Amino acid sequence: MLTDVIQAIFAALPVGCIYALVALGVALIYNATNIINFAQGEFVMLGGMSMVTLYGEMHVPIYLSIFASVAIATIIGMALMKVAYRPGKNTSLIIVLIITIGASLFISGSAMHIWDADIHRFPAFSGEKPIVFLGAAIVPQSLWVIGLTFLLVISLVCYFQFTIHGKAMKACALDRTAAGLLGIKVKRMVLISFAMSSALGALAGIIMTPLTMIDYSGGMLLAIKGFSAAMLGGMGSFVGAVIGGFVFSFLESFTATFVSGSFKELVTFIVIINVLLFMPNGIMGPRSKEGLEEEEVLGE
Amino acid sequence: MLDLNSVSKNFSGLAALTDVSFDVKNSVIKGIIGPNGAGKTTLFNIITGVFPPSKGTINFDGNDISHKRSDEIAKLGVSRTFQQTYLFKTLTVLENVMLGRHYRTRSEFFACGLRLPGARREEKLIREQAMECLDMIGLAGKKDRIANKLPMGEQRYLEVARALATEPRLLILDEPTAGLNEFERDDFLNLVFKIRDMGITILVVEHHMKFIMKVCSELVVLNFGEKIAEGTPDEIQNSPKVIEAYLGVEEDIDY
C-alpha cells in the first residue's frame, strides 16, 4: 500500500512538472497579451520531435541539439505571434482563440508530414537504470525533469518580480495604450513573451520525451491540460499555474493507481469542467471578476 | 515647439477634426477648450500617436511626428495623462513610475534577465529617479501601495508622476482635474505651475473654466472639430464666436 502511494507520487511528479511548464507558457502569453494560446502544446511536440531527429537519429552533441530544438520552436512561436496578435484591429478574443487552435492543428498536421505518425523517443540524459526508494522506482530522467522545472520556475518568477523588463511586460497586458505612451515597445514585448513561452514549451518537450515518448499529435491534449492547470491556478498567476499542473498530475496518477488507468482522463476532465463552472478565477486568481475582463481597445 | 498644420481626422466618414492648425511655444501652458465632442481628446490621441491623422502634419521640435508610433513619440519627449486614469492597476505606485523610465534603460532583455551587474546598477538608478518624481509629487510615502487602491485624487498625481518620469519636454494633460474637489484642484494648479517652472511645456484640456483661465496663458477653442478661436484667456472670454458656441450649448440644456 505505502509502496503504491510512493510509486503514484513518483509517477505524478515529472508529469506534473510538464503540465506546469505548459501552464506557465499559457500564463506567460496571457500575461503579456490576454491571449489564451491553445497552440502551446505544439511547442512541446516540436521540441521533442526536433530532439528525436537531431540527438536520437543524427547524433548531434546533446547541448547543440537542445539549442537547435529550442530555436526551431522559438522561431515558430514568434511566427505564431505575427498571426495571432493583432492590436487595434478590434479582433475579439474568440477569434484569436480560434486562430491559436487552427495554428495548433496546422503545426501538428505539418509535423506528421515532416516526420511521420510513429511514436518516438531518444535515450535518457543519464541512463535508464531506475533508482529504488522504499520499494518504489524512479528513473533518473524524472529527476532531470523535476530539477529543470524547478530552475525554470524560479527564473521566471524572478524575472517578473524583480526586473524592470518583467514589469514592463506585465504593463503591456494591463494597459497596452498607456505602456506605448510611456515609450515601452509593446510589440517587441509581446514578441519576447511568445519567444519565451515557446522556448519553455520546447524545453518541456525535450526533457519529457525520454520518459513519455512523443508523436506528432501529442500537443493538443497537453495544451488543454496546460490551459486547465492555468485556469485552476488562476489565469496569469505563475505560482497558480504550477500548483494547477501538480493537482492534475496527482489526480491522474492516483486514479490510475487506485481505480483504473482508463479512468484517469475522465476524472481530470470532470475536475476541469467543474473548475470552469464554479471557480473561474482559480486558486490564486483575482477575487473579483475584474482580472479576467477583456482588454479595452482604444481608438480604431 | 509643437506645430500642427491643418490636421484632419475622419472616423469612417465622420469628421472628428477639420483643418486644425496652431502652435505651442516653448515653456508655455496652452489650453484647449470646447464643448463635449469638439474633438479635444481625438486631437491628443493624434499628437501622441495613438492613431495617425487622416490629413495634415504635426511637427515636434522639427521632427514630423504625424505617422510615428506612440513609443517613438514618447522617446522624442512627449508624455501624457488620460481622462480616465490609465494606471497599471495591480502594480505598486513605485513600479508605475519606474515603468515611465523603462525606455531609457539600455540593458537588453538577456542582460536584464540574467541580472548582470550593469543591469542591476541601472535598475537601482531607475528606482532612485522614480523616487525623486514621487517626492516631488508628494506620494513618496505611499510607494508600495497598489495603484488602484489610492483615492482618485492621488491616482491623478501618480499619473502625472509617471508621465514626468519619462522626462518629457511636452506634457499633455487630458482633463486632469476631473473628479477632484475644490481644494485638490487648487493643489493641482500649483503642481502645474511647478512643472512649467521646470521648463516643461504643457498642453491641457479641461472643462473646468475657472481652472483653465487661471492656469493657461494661451487658449485654443474647438467646436465640432474646427478651431473657432485662439488667444489669451481675456480675448477668448470676450470672443463673440466662443460665446455663441457656449451659449448654444446652454440653450440645449433644457431637458
Size of the A and B interface in Cβ pairs below 8 Å: 97
> Where does the pLDDT of residue B116 fall: very low under 50, low under 70, confident under 90, or very high at 90 and above?
low
More confident residue, B246 or B9: B9
Q: Measuring CA to CA, which residue among A250, A180, A198 is closest to residue A84?
A: A198
Which residue in A182, A289, A296 has the most chain B C-beta atoms within 10 A of its own C-beta, making it the best mutation to test that interface? A182
| pLDDT score of A243 | 93
pLDDT given for residue A282 in this prediction: 78
Query: Nearest-CA residue of chain A relative to B100?
Result: A182
The single-letter DSSP state of residue B179 is T
Tell if the CB–CB gap between B88 and A174 is shorter than 8 Å.
Answer: yes
Q: What is the pLDDT of residue A286?
A: 60
Per-residue pLDDT reduced to its tens digit, B99-110: 887 765 555 555
Greatest C-alpha distance within chain B: 66
Cα separation, B147 vs B143, whole angstroms: 9
DSSP per-residue string spanning A83-122: HH--TTTT--HHHHHHHHHHHHHHHHHHHHHHS-SS-B--
Q: Is the pLDDT of residue A292 over 50?
A: no
Output the average pLDDT for chain A. Answer: 87
A283 burial (CB, 10 Å; 0-12 / 13-18 / 19+) is: middle
Pairing outcome for strands B170-174 and B55-60: unpaired
The DSSP code for B92 is B
Which residues in chain B are closer than 8 Å to A162, comparing Cβ atoms? 115
pLDDT at A198: 96
Residue-wise pLDDT tens digits, A172-190: 888 888 888 888 888 888 8
Q: pLDDT grade, residue A208 (50/70/90)?
A: very high
Whole-number pLDDT of residue A298: 35
Cβ atoms A22, A229 nearer than 8 A: yes
**What is the C-alpha to C-alpha distance for residues A125 and A132, in angstroms, rounded to an integer?**
18
Distance CA A298, CA A90 (A): 9
CA nearest neighbour of A202 among A49, A28, A6: A49
Can you name the CATH fold of A2-292?
ABC transporter involved in vitamin B12 uptake, BtuC (1.10.3470)
How far apart are alpha carbons A29 and A235 in whole angstroms? Answer: 11
Decide: helix, strand or coil at residue A282.
coil
- Contact residues of A toward B, CB < 8 A: 88, 155, 158-159, 162-165, 167-168, 170-171, 174-175, 177-186, 192, 291, 298-300
Out of A148-157, B154-163, B202-211, B238-247, least confident range: B238-247
Pull the grid cell for residue A249: 498530475
Which of B41, B86, B89, B166 should we substitute to test contact with A (largest number of A Cβ atoms within 10 Å)? B86
Phi, psi of A133 (to 5 degrees): -135, 120
Give the pairing type, strands B29-33 and B218-223: parallel
Q: Which domains does chain B have, with CATH numbers?
A: 2-77+168-252 (3.40.50.300)
* CA–CA min distance A16, chain B (Å): 26
Short-list A164, A161, A226, CA closest to A18: A226
What confidence score (pLDDT) does residue A293 get?
40
Q: Name beta bridge partners: A120.
A: A214
CA B85 centroid distance within chain:
11
Q: How near does any CA of chain A get to the CA of B33, in Å?
A: 21
Q: Does B99 touch chain A (CB under 8 A)?
A: yes
The CA distance from B247 to B67, in Å, is 37
Burial of B197 (0-12, 13-18, 19+ CB in 10 A): exposed
Q: How confident is the model at residue B187 (pLDDT cuts 50, 70, 90)?
A: confident
Percentage of chain A surpassing pLDDT 90?
48
For residue B48, the SS3 value is coil
Residues in chain B: 255
Please list every residue in chain B whose beta carbon sits closer than 8 Å to the beta carbon of residue A182: 71, 74, 79, 99-100, 102-103, 162, 166
Handedness of CA B207, B213, B217, B223 (dihedral sign): positive
pLDDT-based confidence at residue B210 (cuts at 50, 70, 90): confident
Q: Is the CB of B113 less than 8 angstroms away from the CB of A159? A: yes
Residue B109: its chain A contacts at CB < 8 A?
165, 192
Cα–Cα distance between A109 and A168 in angstroms, integer? 36
Mean pLDDT of A207-229: 91
Q: Once rounded to an integer, what is the mean pLDDT over residues B162-184?
A: 87
Closest CA of chain A from B128, distance in Å: 13
Interface test with B, best of A181, A187, A191 (most B CBs within 10 A): A181
At residue A154, the 3 state secondary structure works out as: helix
Nearest chain A Cα distance for residue B81, angstroms: 9
Most confident residue range from A47-51, A135-139, A160-164, A239-243: A47-51
Average pLDDT score over chain B: 84
Q: CA–CA separation, B156 vs A217, rounded Å?
A: 52
pLDDT at A290 over 50: no
- Reply yes or no on whether the pLDDT at A75 is more than 80: yes
Residues of B in contact with A179 (CB under 8 A): 88, 99
Residue of B nearest to A291 (CA): B90
CA dist., res. B84 & res. B178, Å (int): 9
Average pLDDT value for residue range A229-245? 88
Averaged over B180-207, what is the pLDDT? 89
- Tell me whether residues B90 and A174 touch, CB distance under 8 A: yes
Q: What pLDDT sits at residue A297? A: 37
From residue B236, how far is each of B30, B225, B229, B232, B246 by CA, in Å?
13, 18, 7, 6, 12
Say which range, A119-123, A291-295, B70-74, has the weakest mean pLDDT.
A291-295
What is the CB-side half-sphere exposure of residue A282 using CA atoms within 13 A? 27
The residues, ordered by sequence, that sit 6+ positions from A79 with a Cβ below 8 Å of its Cβ are none
- CB atoms A179 and B99 under 8 Å: yes
Taking residues B76-105, report their average pLDDT.
82
Count of alpha carbons within 13 angstroms of residue A57, beta-carbon side? 10
Nearest by CB to B102, from A88, A183, A192: name it: A183
Average pLDDT over residues A98-109: 94
The residue-averaged pLDDT of B182-208 equals: 89
> With contacts defined as CB-CB under 8 Å, which chain B residues touch A235?
none
Which of A131, A144, A117, A138 is CA-nearest to residue A62? A144
Tell me the C-alpha distance between A85 and A204, whole Å: 24
Q: Look at B51 and A192 and tell me if their CB atoms are within 8 Å.
A: no
Task: Name the pLDDT band for A295 (thresholds 50, 70, 90).
Answer: very low
To the nearest whole angstrom, how far is the Cα of A278 from the nearest Cα of chain B? Answer: 24
The arithmetic mean of pLDDT across residues B136-164, rounded, is 87
- Among B71, B88, B100, the residue with its CB nearest the CB of A175 is B88
**Spatial separation of the C-alpha atoms in residues A103 and A119, rounded to whole Å:** 22
